[in-house]
Structure 1
């Protein structure tokens, strides 16, 4: 019987997390396992509208507005998650850890404020497992340079991404049993095998 896990893929830009979630989705489909795949910001119809606003290079929001927009997108996604929770495997490209890593560790927004709203939105929704993809600065920069279009969050300085990645690692260390760190500096085929092996345990 298939487990109906909520599985999240986290990491800074250029870590390959989107590749891995798409690869997992193909794997689950091939094995006839029911799942939904969403991203943050984005996912539901209204959340995708907010995504365009957040990531637009024309946007100049202050840090608190940025946070509240991300949480607004999450609020729109919660109904979609609730509807499928316990019925299908749920794959999420970025979730609550990203909010803490980027907005708290990266931008300095009050952690208690972020956690209070996250707790209010999630209530009884529990993440079963998180893949945290990491990358060094050199590889991150090279991968961003290869992209045709860069959004607002692809263009911060190296110090910002360093603070965010260290923030992710702090989150992981608090509950290591529910996380797997993926070293994205290693060959992607090698990491694909590691991720899919763990997916077999989770689903």
Structure 2
């Protein structure tokens, strides 16, 4: 693995249910931080490195029942390891701020909770193969029905998990809120049911406080 992070480096993840506005807000934050003079790397999961992007195509397209939950956990962990080695850790070693659209908390929810209570397996693999949590996690909270409607309206190829429907969205929202309580030292919750600018302002303020 790469050298230890340089002073000033930060690893910040964005989490939330589908359609919560993560992708929009992470780009807004990247622009804001760049304007403040920070060197920013914007990435995503699954994906973020060539090998991980190949795995992304496997897991996010096709029939919702294509993979068992156990297989998905292994695939996501493999993608995350490659992403960590090739993108995240090298950037942190150079003192950059890494903004990641989803990280291990999404796997804890989507595979570890929603598809058979396999959280223990997710955490064991994470400890063994990843061993790294974000310094700050921004959770954008959103009404499940509204989030699902937004997600389905995007009409992208990466619709596999949206296909599980509103019941999954409800379970995921509560699961993310529970994670925010479990990992309270790094989670910050932002109300996503407001206008884009208000949400962006709150996220910028929370990030600046974490960088201080």
Query: Taking structure 2 as the reference length, what is the TM-score of the superposition?
Result: 0.88
- What's the CA shift for 1:202? 2.5
| Structure 2 Cα separation of the partners of residues 156 and 126 of structure 1 | 27
The reply on whether 1:45 has 2:53 as its aligned counterpart is no
Structure 2 residue runs without a partner (length 5+): 1-6
Which residue is equivalent to 2:75?
Answer: 69
Cα shift at 1:166: 1.1
Q: Distance in 1 between matches of 2:52 and 2:153?
A: 27
Contact 2:12 2:137 in 1 (8 A): yes
Q: Aligned residue pairs: how many?
A: 202
How much has 1:138 moved relative to structure 2?
2.8
* Alignment map for 1:88-167 (pairs within 5 Å): 88-123=96-131, 125-149=132-156, 151-167=159-175
| Distance (whole Å) between structure 1 residues aligned to residue 184 and residue 166 of structure 2 | 26
- Tell me the equivalent position of 1:21: 26
Partner of 1:179: 187
Deviation string 1:50-93 (CA, Å, 9 cap, x unpaired) is 11111112571111111111111101112122222242111111
Contact 1:8 1:94 (8 Å CA) reproduced: yes
Partner of 1:83: 90
**Preserved contact between residue 152 and residue 162 of structure 2 (Cα < 8 Å):** no
CA contact under 8 A between 1:106 and 1:163: conserved in structure 2?
Answer: yes
> 2:145·2:166 contact (CA, 8 Å) conserved in 1?
no
TM-score by length of 1: 0.91
Runs of 4 or more consecutive aligned structure 1 residues displaced over 2 Å after TM superposition? none
Gaps of 5+ in 1: none
Q: More displaced, 159-168 or 42-51?
A: 159-168
Contact 1:106/1:161, CA 8 A, preserved across alignment: no
Aligned residue number for residue 170 of structure 1: 178
RMSD: 1.9
